[in-house]
Amino acid sequence: MRRVLLVLSLAVLLGSCAAQFMAAAERECQAFGYPVGTPQYAGCVEQQYNQRVAAMQRAGQALSAAGAAGQQTYATPAPNYSSPATMTCFYQSEVTSGFNKICSYNCLGSAYAVTQSATSLCAQTLSR
């Protein structure tokens, strides 16, 4: 019974990732100025979606390789500015490994990662 729940949970997570990737690809292509419904828009969405999937696969392979080598992986913190102003970090990708999910963000060109429960959703933006 426990295995069935785990498999169902993973299926829901993968479906959620695909939906998030597709929505992000559509937003980006609309921002590029492609009219919805045109062949150029469809090609752009496909390319953006495939790039996100490939990035997630590369991140998963890197985590697997680090785990197989017995290495500990660490999140790269965003730069620490002395200014009290906050910066907005934008969601880039996520990788699920075991019971953890690593959400990757772009903070004004610097990488930042947050580790959380595999069942929770990554925020689209973070304020740091």
List, for residues 97-127, the tens digit of each pLDDT value.
888 999 999 888 888 888 998 898 999 988 8
Query: What confidence score (pLDDT) does residue 121 get?
Result: 92
Show Cβ contacts of residue 102 under 8 Å, excluding neighbours closer than 6 positions.
Answer: 59, 63, 75, 94, 95, 96, 113, 114, 115
Q: How many separate domains does the chain show?
A: 1
Which regions in the chain score pLDDT beneath 50? 4, 6-8, 10-14
* Distance (Å, whole) CA 59 – CA 107: 18
Beta strands in the chain (DSSP E): 88-97, 100-107, 110-117, 125-127
Beta strands in 12-120 (DSSP E): 88-97, 100-107, 110-117
Q: Which domain holds residue 43?
A: 2-127
Please provide the average confidence, as pLDDT, over all residues in the chain. 75
